[in-house]
Structure 1
Amino acid sequence: MDPKDGGVDEEEEEEFGFSRNYFLAREIGGRSGKKSGSKLSDIDLADEKVLRAEASRIEPKHEKEIARLLKSYKDLYSKWLFELRCGFGLLMYGFGSKKVLLEDFASTSLTDFGVLVINGYLPSINLKQVMITISEILQDQLKTRMKGSTGKKAKTQQHFSSKSMEDLFMFLNGLPSDDNDSFVCLIIHNIDGPALRDFETQQHLARLACCSHVRVVASIDHVNAPLLWDKKMVHTQFNWCWYHVPTFAPYNVEGVFFPLILANSSAAQTTITALVVLRCLTPNAQCVFKVLIEHQLADEKEGMPVNTLYTKCREKFLVSSQDTLNSHLTEFKDHELVKVRKHSDGQDCLYIPLNTESLEKLLQELVSVV
């Protein structure tokens, strides 16, 4: 053998020795027959309320550096505004919460425009209500412009709450597009959030971004967020300008709505989750839900008929019509707080998919909230 190859042989011998020792160790370990008796279910998980209380006591670090980093992004505000005026959308990505950054940009650079904020990290979002609000803002802007330029009143105010999604899109696309500086800016925290990441919602948001008087500024945090969109949505509809803006800020607000890994799934946790959702609803809706809880706790296991619920809510002056009650029930069903099942006599009944302990805790919390 050529002595020049001696170094190579030594390296090969060293690798072979390592491999031999590895498989020998595996073989000996297999013979021992020792297996761990620990199970994942044996872990003593903490109550979520206790865990969150302990987490809140953790002292934040590098606050000055984070504040300095956020301040450095202010130099980009004029560029971002220019790109919005040119018809682009802004997509912010990078590690850390971008909630403070986007809201600071909106409060300092978008004061001349209508601004609407969507918190995509919430458990549920009513996208139709978002479109109704945008339509109302643009209609008011159009009325003000027409009155200022001609001295005449605009056409009769439209009522958008009764219109379908397609009707709302027709209204938004039918607005005059000669004034590019008049638009509503939609700030979407976590456009990749659980309530927004389904295909239909992303299609609606993409169509909304196409409207001449709507601009979108959004943030993403999930590593696979770009998979939500196809080529047309990215380059034609959303028309994204991508910005890497890591903030390293903690996800304090966004993390409230996600269960902690080390927390158990006790009744207390279930109650907290339901209460977070209910706090997003109106006081009347919360009171209607209380009526359902009280009925279910009174040993009414089969649920509550809709007509019975309507009668009780009318007596308490919680609803004025069946349509009002139906809108509350739609919210409950969308948030999976209420489900429907057949009564023994064949009629549909409403029931809350929680155990008695969770219902009692939830009722106590609602009494202190409402």
Structure 2
Amino acid sequence: MLRCGFGLLMYGFGSKKALLEDFASTALTEYSVVVINGYLQSINIKQVVITLAEVLWNQCKSKRKTPSGNLPRAQQPFNSRSMDDLFAFLDGSELKENDYFVCVVIHNIDGPGLRDSETQQHLGRIAFCSHIRMIASIDHVNAPLLWDKKMVHTQFNWHWYHVPTFAPYKVEGMFFPLILAHGSSAQTAKTAAIVLQSLTPNAQSVFKILAEYQLSHPDEEGMPIDTLYATSRERFLVSSQVTLNSHLTEFKDHELVKTRRHSDGQDCFYIPLASEALEKLLSEINQ
């Protein structure tokens, strides 16, 4: 269905997060995949489009597929291009081959961070691009009201799948900004552990490095990013600063990690938990 240009839309009672991730990790291995967590409170849609353009560009570089056999030169960095230019690139104005594409997996396309009309219009434009394929889930009973007929049948071109998993909404149902702000240390540690379990093993290990550093250096502002990168690289958890930054962005999106300025001017990362709660969290994720 994806190869034929359809978008896949999953609906039905129960969390579909694991289902979509299993599908992406088994059926989409030959393609690049970008995941959007629509259940988060705020999402920068332009950054999403920039990321898709960068992923597509890197995929093209690795495959060297252009009409002439050489890649066209990027006129300017993607982060300085307009939205129209970015959509033109994703639609193939610079890259003509149509036998490869980037898959966008959206957990809760009807989520609070994506629910406004402008964002849905942008998502429709993304789905309509020739080098993009979209897989998404919905959970709100009124989610179809987000789209008009053109968006449903022309832009998203949804093929609907009824997939009642009856799985608990462990991650989607949480109000993330409150994860570490209220409740006892045991409650906050258990809640944060559930969120961490939804992340990759490498991301969990990077978080453990940060937590262990914080426990052993209680008087410091936090862990400098250079130290975190060096330790993560030594343990073969990240291969580049870009990989580490993606993990840190995920932590910050989930309100698990915060930043503050060290006295020497360097950015430091810390977990907004008391030592007791942090120890409980480490014991939870080590089980």
Instruction: Measure, in 1, the Cα distance between the counterparts of 2:32 and 2:128.
Output: 17
**8 Å Cα contact 1:91-1:219 kept in structure 2:** yes
Q: 2:278 aligns with which of 348, 355, 359?
A: 359
Instruction: Measure, in 2, the Cα distance between the counterparts of 1:114 and 1:103.
Output: 14
**SS state of the match for residue 164, structure 1?**
helix
User: 1:209 deviation in Å?
Assistant: 0.7
| Structure 2 unaligned regions, length at least 5 | 176-181
Instruction: Measure, in 1, the Cα distance between the counterparts of 2:131 and 2:14.
Output: 30
**SS state of the match for residue 216, structure 1?**
strand
Q: Determine the structure 1 residue equivalent to 2:123.
A: 205
Residues 312-364 of structure 1: CA distance to partner in whole angstroms, max 9, x if unpaired? 65367547877665554433323322223466788765332122222012233
2:173 matched to 1:258?
yes
Identity of aligned residues (%): 52
**8 Å Cα contact 2:104-2:134 kept in structure 1:** yes
User: 1:93 deviation in Å?
Assistant: 4.0
**8 Å Cα contact 2:52-2:102 kept in structure 1:** no
**8 Å Cα contact 2:92-2:130 kept in structure 1:** no
Q: Determine the structure 1 residue equivalent to 2:179.
A: none
| Structure 1 unaligned regions, length at least 5 | 1-80, 147-152
Instruction: Measure, in 2, the Cα distance between the counterparts of 1:293 and 1:105.
Output: 32
| Matched residue type, 2:166 | P
Mapping for residues 32-51 of structure 1, pairs under 5 Å:
none
Instruction: Measure, in 1, the Cα distance between the counterparts of 2:227 and 2:95.
Output: 49
Q: Determine the structure 2 residue equivalent to 1:274.
A: 192
**8 Å Cα contact 1:115-1:187 kept in structure 2:** no
RMSD between aligned residues: 5.2
Q: Determine the structure 2 residue equivalent to 1:221.
A: 139
Decide whether aligned partners of structure 1 residues 165 and 272 sit closer, same or farther in structure 2, where only a CA change above 3 A counts. Answer: farther
**8 Å Cα contact 2:190-2:284 kept in structure 1:** no
Decide whether aligned partners of structure 1 residues 273 and 227 sit closer, same or farther in structure 2, where only a CA change above 3 A counts. Answer: farther
Mapping for residues 57-72 of structure 1, pairs under 5 Å:
none
Mapping for residues 233-244 of structure 1, pairs under 5 Å:
233-234=151-152, 237-240=155-158, 243=160
Q: 1:164 aligns with which of 79, 99, 118?
A: 79
**SS state of the match for residue 109, structure 2?**
coil
Q: Determine the structure 2 residue equivalent to 1:53.
A: none
User: 1:193 deviation in Å?
Assistant: 3.9
Which protein has the larger Cα radius of gyration, Structure 1 or Structure 2? 1
Decide whether aligned partners of structure 1 residues 246 and 135 sit closer, same or farther in structure 2, where only a CA change above 3 A counts. Answer: same
- Higher share of residues assigned helix: 1
Decide whether aligned partners of structure 1 residues 219 and 267 sit closer, same or farther in structure 2, where only a CA change above 3 A counts. Answer: same
Residues 143-197 of structure 1: CA distance to partner in whole angstroms, max 9, x if unpaired? 3x96xxxxxx8225999xx843957544322358988776566554532245654
Instruction: Measure, in 1, the Cα distance between the counterparts of 2:271 and 2:174.
Output: 20
Output the TM-score relative to the length of structure 1: 0.50
